[in-house]
């Protein structure tokens, strides 16, 4: 796989920016999705989940402790399987992702972790901020 000048977006280099993307999740375009190869689960915040017209009643109850959010342990409210479309309309793939829903404030609506990145066979280029 190679990347050329047409793949470059306007970046100020050097940089240490996170890879942030937008994806269609459950028929809703969601922005501010952090691609994180250091986390093993997929997370969606409750506020974003509710904007997709879901409620806490739609969750399967699973209380999973998550360590690392503000140096505290946070528990998920539950889990929900949602369809995620990766790519543009002409060249995309849709996969079902089992999200942990958390009620916390963070800069991102979703964190996409290693499990889904492996399923979609994502190749990440941090320097170019491409997936």
- Domains along the sequence of the chain with CATH: 20-119 (2.40.70.10)
pLDDT(42) > 80: yes
Task: Please report how many Cα atoms fall inside a 13 Å half-sphere around the Cα of residue 35, on the Cβ side.
Answer: 20
Cβ atoms of 6 and 129 within 8 Å: the answer is no
User: In this predicted structure, what is the pLDDT of residue 76?
Assistant: 93
> Which residues, 6 or more positions from 72, have their beta carbon under 8 angstroms from its beta carbon?
none
Query: Of 47 and 92, which is predicted with more confidence?
Result: 47
Please name every residue paired with 102 in a beta bridge, in sequence order, or none if there are none: 45
pLDDT of 118 higher than 60: yes
% of the chain beyond a pLDDT of 90: 50
Q: How confident is the model at residue 3, as a pLDDT?
A: 43
What's the token pair of residue 113? Answer: 């972790």
Give the predicted TM-score (pTM) of the model: 0.84
**Mean of the pLDDT values across residues 6-35?**
79
């Amino acid at each position: 796989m190679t990347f050329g000048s047409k793949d470059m977006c306007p970046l100020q280099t050097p940089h240490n920016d996170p890879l942030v993307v937008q994806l269609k999740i459950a028929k809703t375009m969601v922005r501010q999705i952090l691609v994180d190869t250091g986390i093993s689960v997929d997370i969606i915040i409750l506020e974003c989940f509710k904007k997709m017209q879901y409620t806490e009643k739609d969750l399967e109850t699973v209380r999973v402790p998550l360590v690392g959010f503000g140096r505290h342990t946070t528990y998920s409210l539950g889990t929900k399987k949602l369809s995620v479309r990766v790519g543009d309309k002409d060249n995309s793939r849709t996969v079902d992702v089992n999200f942990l829903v958390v009620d916390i404030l963070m800069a991102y609506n979703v964190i996409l972790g290693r499990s889904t990145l492996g399923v979609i066979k994502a190749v990440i280029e941090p320097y170019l901020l491409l997936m």
